[in-house]
Amino acid sequence: MTDSSTIPFTSHIIEIPGGRLYYEVRGQGPLVALLGAPMDATSFAPLADLLASDHTVLTTDPRGINRSPLNDPGQDSTPPLRADDLSRLLTHLDAGPATIVGSSGGAVTALALAQTHPEQVRTVIAHEPPLIELLADRERLHATTDDLIATYLAGDVVGAWAKVMAQANIIMPEGALQMMFGGDRDPRQVADERRWFAHELRATTRWQPDLDVLRATPIDIMVGIGDDSSRQLCDRTSRALATALGLEPTLFPGDHTGFVEDPDRFAARLRDVLHER
């Protein structure tokens, strides 16, 4: 992967239980952490650059991904482990309480941190967390998750991604998956992808938030959904979370990866949301 950032930043590594955690810091102002899982710091660089004019922006490679190696590569990446990593990082920086903007698995990490270390968090924006445990058809969805993982580990990469998109209710143009996931690919991307399928996806989608704790927390929690995510799986899980917490969803431009596809529009909306709180 190449770094797409255009704003100066500092990069660092800290020790975590069982490995090392890579992170980047750019800008000045109130602390905003941008979290993915499995997306790494590089994926958030364009959005981080846009926010860095008036925020200190923290991005990181989650454990086992890219520049955050583990001593045991076979260890599963769970939301509580990733939340503990983030807590250690915030303590190391001594810059909290933070606004945490988590997307997908990163949103699950942010919610786990809100449960275990609320003193380190001011605001959580949980953008499309894949909390399948909140859905009535969770058993069926867990079974399809197990099937697509088995398909990937059996060597059918394109077939596995086709099942991912079908489960997510995301329609791809004909031939797009073959172009994206077939043929020669970047070895680092393949390694991170395999780790996601083998050691992260199941634990993330099966995580059950403690709704009583989240309802009672003083943390300002928002549930973000993409304008274009209607009827997709993460639209359903996000709305289920918002309903369970008695919240109205906050809409953002694009779909599940709107912050990657159009970071300018996403950053503008995020600024508006943060200024309204």
**Domain ranges (residues) in the chain:** 10-136+207-276, 138-198
Q: Walk across the sheet containing 56-60 and list its strands.
A: 10-16, 19-26, 56-60, 31-35, 98-103, 121-127, 220-226, 250-252
**Residue 274 CA from chain centroid, whole number:** 19
pLDDT tens track, the chain, 277 positions: 446 678 899 999 999 999 999 999 999 999 999 999 999 999 999 999 999 999 999 999 999 999 999 999 999 999 999 999 999 999 999 987 999 999 999 999 999 999 999 999 999 999 999 999 999 999 999 999 999 999 999 999 999 999 999 999 999 999 999 999 998 999 999 999 999 999 999 999 999 999 999 999 999 999 999 999 999 999 999 999 999 999 999 999 999 999 999 999 999 999 999 988 7
Residue pair 64/104 in contact (Cβ under 8 Å)? The answer is no
The superfamily (CATH) of domain 10-136+207-276 is: Alpha/Beta hydrolase fold, catalytic domain (3.40.50.1820)
* 86 neighbors 34 (Cβ within 8 angstroms): no
Q: Are 192 and 67 in contact (CB under 8 A)?
A: no
Q: Can you give the pTM of this predicted structure? A: 0.96
The pLDDT assigned to 8 comes to 92
Residue 153, H or E segment: helix 138-153
